[in-house]
Each structure stands twice: as structure tokens, then as C-alpha cells.
A = this chain, B = another copy of it.
Amino acid sequence: MEKEDALNALAALGQETRLDVFRLLVKAGKEGMTAGAVSDALNVRPNTLSTHLGALSRCALVRAERDGRSIHYIADLATMQSLVTFLLRDCCGGNPDLCAPIANLFTTVSCSDTKGL
């Protein structure tokens, strides 16, 4: 992940409604939730939520899948993991090899093997 992508992702998550949306979708798992369901759950107006979902989509923290009239939004933990790796890059005295593999465990060992995200 490049700096600009990380910056966009961090800015996206640094806003209360969007952080709530992302965490809700993380909990919802691979099925995700429709925009309407998120709107109801968080009590955010549909048009406002749509703006936020657009922001999360643009930086790939979330992806959209249309299903009939509804659109399911699903958290993309691979992006989350890239972000984490980026943030901890050079955290061990400029030797990223020490931290990066551990960051990979988030998805490769734990999450994807248990619930498939």
C-alpha cells in the first residue's frame, strides 16, 4: 500500500459515522449488509450514509455487491491488513521484515482460516 492510499483509508476511518459503518460491516462478516440495513442500524439517513459508503468504497475498505434492488456492502479486511502493515513499516528500526510477516498473520492464519472473513 502506498502512502496516499493509507492516508485516504485513515481519513475515511477518522470520521465517526464511517468508523461505525466499517466496524458494523466487519461484524457482519462476508455476507455484509445492505445499505438500508446499515442505515437502520446506525440511524443515519440513506443519502448521508450513501456518501459515507462511497468514501469507504473509494479507498477499498468496503466493496459493494448488488443483489436485486439492494446493494450489499462488505468490509474488505485485506485492505485493513495492508493499512496495518503500512503503519508499522519501519517500526523495528527500518527493518520491516521483523514486523510485516506478523501483520500477515491477521488474515492468513487467523481470520481466513476460521470464518473466511
Contacts and interface: CB of A to CB of B under 8 A. Distances in A.
Interface of A: 3, 6-7, 10-16, 19, 23, 26-27, 29, 77, 80, 84, 87-95, 98-99, 102-103, 105-106, 109-111, 114-115, 117
B93 A102 contact: no
Contacts of A91: 26, 77, 80, 106, 111, 117
Contacts of A87: 13, 80, 84
A104 to B, nearest CB: 10
A102 B105 contact: yes
Nearest to A16: B7
Given A98-B110, A115-B92, A3 B26 contact: no
